[in-house]
Chain A
């Protein structure tokens, strides 16, 4: 973090400088080191600044695989691709939780330890800072000339009055003052300190930091994240059975989901048609209609990549899109047993060459299955279809048909993007290419499959994070506190007045000053100005003695100082 170190010790005493490193370690010779000492030592280690920094670094390091490997939550198809391309490595990575880094136990371990470390460090510090913000300045040192800044002059005022005048000036400049105690009245001095806002800023920074941690925890416990793939023209309600993925916080149940419903009316994506950027997306626009609660008024909204919809405490983000080719399948009896747009997912090869499967579990006499590739702008390159542009300018699908047992009548739930062909046999020797409107007749009178067209789909991320706004506020507050603590210096000014050796010499006024945390300078000029001001105030006061004026100087124009 910063050098925000609780200033509980006096800067004049380097030996008392607070030491960040925990001291009586097990290596210290002598007394036996019991379990309680170990515990104490461990806690001191954990809450030390160094460990906090190490944990912060570890946290950053631990999130690296989260951005380098596809993640289960945000990119499940990417994970599947990784499994097929690295069949040996992927299970091990999965065992280590690297496909779901932010939910992995070891990530939580670092996070929780950091949390404990910060709380253990910040809470006592907060108390110390609060105490420090209320302390009085120390007593004036005896030899002010030894301070980094000092000045000395004489005045005709008696010492007590000189100090009085100085106190008035300093108090007028916003200094906090300390005068000798009653028992100490033989001395004439005043200590003044300014810049307590630095401690306030420090305090704000620490409290806000705690606030950020609490907000993040709040979001983790009471928030949820969900994904839903929505085909153009379809609707969904924010309820668990309508979501593809649902990751609730620890205290979130199915009943906590917001009761909104949403329909995707239209999705448009446009791409740069020429030049070096050809094929790059230039704009997305998902027009949705939504109602906040059943029976509520329907509203429309244009979702864009960085323009989420806030509805009912949740935020809906547009995070992806693709094509859903529409198929109609008739079986051997001539019954239409499948008629729907089927979302295909774009692979790594670019230009939205997408893959998907069609499962027809109720076809007679045997179940049917198809694996397919959707090519938005198809070009035949040496017998294989390739996509040369992401927009659907010349769409085509290529299908391989299977018949047999899909494995859907019992057993584990299946992915809609995978076809288990272990109990099926292939009906077509080679992939069959279809253009919109074209049909493929299946052998042995098993029926037909027709590629009737395509519609776009979008994938939506629905998040509810009650900690988001508090985290933002605390973040801003911590930044403000940090700025305050960086920009404001604690500085002290002391004034001592002593009677001179003889009455003619008057009173010697010594002014000394130091900035307690001076990094950049600037105190020099402030001190010089302050010393000059004190001097002129003393001169002025000496010319108008309040008690026994030696001579009347009514016409004297310098009155304003009084």
Chain B
């Protein structure tokens, strides 16, 4: 207020001051726009890695855990699609391929024939295959196992509670996820996403060869 008053008493300076201020405002607006543009570019580049669900994709990532660094698979019991009780502890002493899937999940349908082929090759040599059917219904899941001739059992995990237990050990971010559990009940390898025949057989062969 005081400033305004003192300027008011100097009419000769009033106009240039106002003109100068206007130019400043224009410049400020230009600089602001420029900085905004830069920040937009930077944030759009940096923000691309943070876009919500990053689960079911075709690009699989495979993790192999070395002996001694393998997380212990949690124990669980469940009901199979055919209605019988199943306890995971009964698989101790065997190599287990654990596949998290759902009949609604497109990449699961894509990998189903591959899994069936790997199962056909390794089941005779003592490797167990077990499905965990996530967010599914029994009718749809059974229809799926018929369509793809899945010859191994699956436990129902409609609520994802079994998945939750495993998430504490390996970062399961959706279906499909395939874990290979060694004879001591430790997770030796994980495929996040669609499995490939050579990829999965390599892990299974390695874990099976560990003796026991």
Contact = CB atoms under 8 A, between A and B. Distances in A.
Given A14-B6, A241-B100, A361-B103, A108 B27 contact: no
B65 to A, nearest CB: 16
A246 B51 CA distance: 9
Contacts of A408: 104, 106, 109
B3 A19 contact: yes
Contacts of A335: 143, 146
A77 interface: no
A248 interface: yes
B64 interface: no
Contacts of A239: 160, 163-164, 167, 172
Given A45-B31, A113-B36, A255-B171, A235 B159 contact: yes
B143 A338 contact: yes
Given A240-B167, A261-B161, A340-B137, 8 more contacts: A109-B39, A240-B174, A248-B50, A261-B159, A337-B139, A337-B143, A339-B140, A413-B57
A340 B142 CA distance: 13
A106 interface: yes
A257 B106 contact: no
A64 interface: no
Interface string A124-162: 000000000000000000000000000000000000000
Interface string A39-77: 000100110001100100000000000000000000000
Contacts of B39: 108-109, 112-113
A141 B20 CA distance: 37
Interface of B: 2-3, 6, 20-21, 23-24, 27-28, 31-32, 35-36, 39-41, 43-44, 47, 50, 52-53, 55-57, 100, 103-107, 109-110, 134-135, 137-140, 143-144, 146-147, 158-161, 163-165, 167-168, 171-175
Given A234-B158, A257-B167, A340-B137, A240 B20 contact: no
Contacts of A238: 164
Interface residues of A, number: 68
Given A51-B32, A240-B172, A25 B160 contact: no
Nearest to B53: A246
Nearest to B162: A237
A25 B159 contact: no
20 contacts: A14-B3, A19-B3, A21-B21, A27-B20, A45-B31, A105-B41, A108-B47, A109-B36, A112-B39, A113-B39, A241-B100, A241-B172, A241-B173, A241-B175, A246-B52, A253-B171, A337-B140, A338-B139, A339-B138, A414-B106
Given A19-B3, A27-B23, A409-B109, A105 B140 contact: no
A259 B161 CA distance: 9
B20 to A, nearest CB: 6
Interface string A235-254: 11111111101111010011
A363 interface: yes
A411 interface: yes
Given A234-B159, A413-B106, A241 B174 contact: yes
Interface of A is mostly: mixed
Given A109-B40, A362-B146, A409-B109, A255 B167 contact: yes
Contacts of A21: 21, 24
Interface string A322-364: 0000001001000111111000000000000000000111111
A42 B109 CA distance: 57
Given A105-B47, A240-B172, A261-B164, A14 B2 contact: yes
B170 to A, nearest CB: 9
A128 to B, nearest CB: 20
A156 to B, nearest CB: 42
A504 interface: no
A242 B36 CA distance: 38
B160 A237 contact: yes
A106 B50 contact: no
A415 B43 CA distance: 29
A240 B53 contact: yes
Interface string A3-39: 0000000000011010101100111000000000000
- Shortest 9 CB-CB distances between A and B: which pairs? A362-B143, A235-B159, A242-B160, A339-B139, A105-B44, A237-B164, A109-B39, A14-B2, A337-B143
A551 interface: no
B160 to A, nearest CB: 4
Given A45-B28, A413-B107, A113 B35 contact: yes
A103 interface: yes
Contact of B168 (A45, A105, A109, A255): A255
Contacts of B41: 105
B173 A240 contact: yes
